[in-house]
């Protein structure tokens, strides 16, 4: 496959974003990681959103409707309400334990997402949802102080 690199601004947004709940935040890191509170050591998990398909800002009503459809699509999994990004860049997400990569990718593609976060234990991957899928490997690291002005995603 001939992967076409995502725009650097979009990739930077995913890499600088914090993920988790409003109370406990994590970031992708190349340094050793920590086990996110929603996971067990060897447990698979995914962070998915339906907001802003194809990396383009959508209106709030369209985003809310898409997120509602995502919740319905994941009704069989016990998902935790999460948030990607902060402040004006915050987007609701679902943290889904035990979701395998193939299903997470199908859902991301079905909802027009540029990428998603998928992991096992403290390992994480930025998975680009383009037809020629690309996976970038990271660790989950505790994010710095909440509210530091980090930019959010434009998934």
Q: What is the pLDDT of residue 146?
A: 41
Q: What is the pLDDT of residue 111?
A: 97
Per-domain residue ranges for the chain? 8-142
Q: What percent of the chain has pLDDT over 70?
A: 90
**Band (8; pLDDT cuts 50, 70, 90):** confident
Whole-structure pTM over 0.85, yes or no? yes
Q: pLDDT tens digit string along 43-102? A: 999 999 999 998 888 999 999 999 999 999 999 999 999 999 988 778 999 999 999 999
Q: What is the pLDDT of residue 4?
A: 62
Question: When comparing pLDDT for 151 and 128, which is higher?
Answer: 128
Q: Answer yes or no: are the C-beta atoms of 61 and 8 closer than 8 Å.
A: no
Q: Is residue 112 within a helix (H) or strand (E), and if so which, with residue range?
A: none
């Amino acid at each position: 496959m001939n992967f076409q690199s995502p725009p650097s601004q979009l990739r930077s947004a995913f890499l600088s974003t914090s993920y988790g709940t409003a109370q406990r935040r994590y970031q992708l890191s190349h340094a050793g990681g920590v086990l996110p509170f929603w996971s067990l050591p060897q447990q698979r998990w995914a962070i998915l959103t339906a907001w802003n398909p194809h990396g383009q800002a959508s209106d709030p009503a369209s985003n809310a409707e898409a997120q509602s459809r995502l919740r319905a699509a994941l009704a069989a999994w016990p998902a935790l309400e999460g948030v990607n990004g902060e402040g004006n860049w915050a987007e609701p997400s679902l943290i889904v334990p035990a979701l395998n990569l193939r299903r997470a990718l199908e859902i991301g593609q079905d909802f027009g997402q540029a990428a998603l976060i998928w992991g096992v234990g403290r390992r994480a991957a930025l998975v680009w949802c383009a037809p020629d899928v690309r996976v970038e490997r990271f660790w989950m690291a505790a994010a710095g102080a909440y509210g530091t002005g980090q930019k959010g995603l434009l998934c």
